Chain A
Amino acid sequence: MHRIFTALIAAFALSIGGTAQARISIDITQGNVEPMPIAVPNFLGGDDSARQLGVDITEVLMNDLERSGLFQVIDQRAYIEEPMVNARPTFANWRIINAQVLVVGEVEELGDGRIQVSTRIWDVTSDEQLGAVAYKTPADNWRRASHKVADFIYKTLTGEDGYFDTRVVFIHETGPKENRNKRLMIMDQDGANPVPLTDGLNYKALTPRFSPTQQQITYMALFDNRPGQVYLFNIETGEQEPLGTFRGMTFAPRFSPDGREVLMSIERGGNSDVFKMDLATRRLTRLTDNPAIDVSPSMSPDGRRITFASDRGGSQQIYVMNADGSNQKRITFGQGRYQTPVWSPRGDLIAFTRQYRGRFYIGVIRPDGTGERLLTESYLDEGPTWSPNGRVLMFFREPRPGAGSSLWSVDLTGRNLRRVRTPGDASDPAWSPMLP
């Protein structure tokens, strides 16, 4: 995965005719943004194979843009012009089909097994170039090149980092409901390239979480005849190890934002409390000491605070405390049960699962307990995970009793709800950081 891209190469003229001053932009903080009409003609190529790659890359790119909910990709059949990447398009040809933005691209085979994917973004309303980028990468890595282009477009038009060049680790479910096979699987954010990670193991894998800094996962292994334990799994080597030896169950693990610690719950004599473990020294620090159930810890991106769920008040609610365990404060007071709090990578919100009158909801709330908003609802919606830019949530859903579970994503407006493609039933998604 390393050094696979060379970006912004000099050979590609970054600007053609006029300055790149972004006039058009999307404010993704607005609740009800109309999708921006964008034209994405197929990326061109010099020969048949480059042209085919161009078509494939464009398809992945259009899918990313469309699924974000921020863009409405105009049907290619409406296009009247086949624009070249190193020429100014005829803007009138794009205004007439109501495009606001035009993306033009080209694929070039470099002869050493690599390709160069060059992209230019035009503001059709002001006839200006908004940005240009080129990536060199091995030809079989073309999907990631598409996602990188999508991230570039997203950043150019919103001013924020994208989330398309990312992966998702999740639990692949098969077998009867009484005893499901549950294995770790990893795939691209858009559902492509699913790969099983823990085939052939005789235990269930649950609640995987990505390290924010390394190609590493922590998850819980649920055994038949001894208490479940938290494991570390190295995605690159496939090596894994239990995170210490414990008499009781260890579960609900999650990395700290610097990747150096794992927060988790440890059960002793039936009672669960929150601990953190330093991964280098394996030193354990107790953070809560309460006869109630304390679970699902998640650290704020600045490392100063931790949110967790506890039933110490009579039913499960969300709490926030300092990273050393001091100053434990309840932040949710609504009806029903609040669980699985997850701090946004932006720091501004905590996502959660709420259970109320027989339904499950995914929602967000500010860390001070104000501004609660519910984004989704079904028979079972559970376990939100944040996109690395803190703008999209993925979770799993059992839409009706007895229906298999599947992965879904929703943006912070709650309007852009999409099913995420997986090979079969899936649960417990965890979003990776941006890939290196």
Chain B
Amino acid sequence: MKNFTKFTGVIAALTLVSACATSSGPDVDATAGAGTNAGAGPTGPVPGTQGDLENSAGHRVFFAYDQYTLTPQAQATLARQAAWLQEYPETRIKLAGNCDERGTREYNLALGARRAEAARSYLVSLGVSANRITTVSYGKERPIATGSNEQAWAQNRNATTTIESVGS
């Protein structure tokens, strides 16, 4: 898990180079969210951005094979996300459920929806307003680790939080 956090850090750093540093406001492109790091000094990402969420809370929770129950670590991550979201009450997020490649396409779409919903309802139980969260399932279509081994599959079984918009 530690290694993986490092791995996303590298991706974020790479994204900096091409991303626009001035994007902010409601039209912020969530997919380039890590790029808002570009405006940050040596102290870290700009508060309230995707990079900030990833640094201070973590934006992914992981699941066991063919499971959608939240592990204690996943609950801890979501609790940090909920606290972070309380600080930025205008921010809306997307929760994407993902699966490893060891299942059929259709079942994994359903399982990904379960995982996104598990994360969503936990955030809601911690006081995050339901209308700030949209959920989506990518099934096995969007792996973050491209290997075909247990380590890669474990990373790909996740629910990923992405900032959709930062203000009203």
Chain A residues engaging chain B, CB cutoff 8 angstroms: 176-180, 182, 204, 206-207, 220, 222-228, 248-249, 251-252, 265, 267, 269-272, 293, 295-296, 309, 311, 315-316, 337, 339-340, 353, 355, 358, 379-380, 382-383, 401-402, 428
Which residues of B lie under 8 Å from residue A227 when comparing CB positions?
A: 113, 135-137
Is the C-beta of B141 less than 8 angstroms from some C-beta in chain A? yes
Which residue from chain B places its CB closest to the CB of A179 in the assembled complex?
B142
- Separation of A382 and B101 alpha carbons in the complex (Å): 11
Which residues of A lie under 8 Å from residue B110 when comparing CB positions?
A: 251, 265, 267, 272, 293, 295
Q: Does A206 lie within 8 Å of B114, measured CB to CB?
A: no
Q: Does B141 lie within 8 Å of A309, measured CB to CB?
A: no
In the complex, which of the residues A206, A248, A358 contacts B141, with contact meaning CB atoms closer than 8 Å? A206
Which residue from chain B places its CB closest to the CB of A396 in the assembled complex?
B105
- Separation of A295 and B113 alpha carbons in the complex (Å): 13
Which residues of A lie under 8 Å from residue B134 when comparing CB positions?
A: 225-226
Is the C-beta of B103 less than 8 angstroms from some C-beta in chain A? yes
Which residues of A lie under 8 Å from residue B164 when comparing CB positions?
A: 225
- Separation of A340 and B103 alpha carbons in the complex (Å): 11
In the complex, which of the residues A182, A204, A220, A226 contacts B136, with contact meaning CB atoms closer than 8 Å? A226
- By the criterion of a CB under 8 Å from any partner CB, how many residues of chain B are at the interface? 37
Which residues of B lie under 8 Å from residue A251 when comparing CB positions?
A: 106, 109-110
- Residues in B112-168 with C-beta less than 8 Å from chain A: 113-114, 116-118, 120-121, 134-139, 141-144, 146-149, 164
Known A178-B146, A225-B134, A225-B164; judge A340-B106 contact (CB<8 A): yes
Which residues of A lie under 8 Å from residue B111 when comparing CB positions?
A: 293
Is the C-beta of B60 less than 8 angstroms from some C-beta in chain A? no
- Residues in B47-99 with C-beta less than 8 Å from chain A: 66, 68, 94
- Separation of A227 and B117 alpha carbons in the complex (Å): 12
- Separation of A220 and B144 alpha carbons in the complex (Å): 22
- Separation of A168 and B31 alpha carbons in the complex (Å): 35
B77 CB, nearest partner CB in chain A, Å: 19
Is the C-beta of B104 less than 8 angstroms from some C-beta in chain A? yes
Which residue from chain A places its CB closest to the CB of B152 in the assembled complex?
A401
- Separation of A339 and B107 alpha carbons in the complex (Å): 8
- Separation of A248 and B114 alpha carbons in the complex (Å): 12
Which residues of B lie under 8 Å from residue A226 when comparing CB positions?
A: 134, 136
Which residues of A lie under 8 Å from residue B117 when comparing CB positions?
A: 269-271
Q: Does B146 lie within 8 Å of A249, measured CB to CB?
A: no
Known A178-B143, A401-B148; judge A225-B106 contact (CB<8 A): no
Q: Does A252 lie within 8 Å of B113, measured CB to CB?
A: no
